[in-house]
Amino acid sequence: MGIFDNFFSRPPTRSTAAVAKERLQIVVIHERGGRHRSPDYLPALKKELLEVVRKYVHVDQSQIKVHLDRDGDCEVLELNITLPDEEQRVGAG
């Protein structure tokens, strides 16, 4: 068993370049904080959006996801709300 464990669970050897890239991505994103206006309004936006949505449909706090992404010069605000199946109709009526 031990032999097989060793054999199968050995992590694939990662190149040092891949390690470098991952480390850089993390450190660079962290350091860019001040550079691209950090979306510090996101929590408030999320709360207010949730309040609006809740007027019509009952959704749980965890069912709403707000994500701000950057694609070149373009900022994309992604809003993802999972509606519950039954209550969807009740709420809309």
Taking a C-beta distance cutoff of 8 angstroms, is the pair 58, 48 a contact? no
User: Least distance from C-beta 1 to another protein, angstroms?
Assistant: 32
24 vs 42, which CB is nearer to another protein? 24
- The rounded Cα 49 to chain-centroid distance in angstroms is 17
- Interface residues with another protein (CB under 8 A) are 15-18, 20-21, 23-25, 27-28, 31-32, 34-35, 72
CB 66 within 8 A of CB 49: yes
**Cβ proximity to another protein, 44 vs 74, nearer residue:** 74
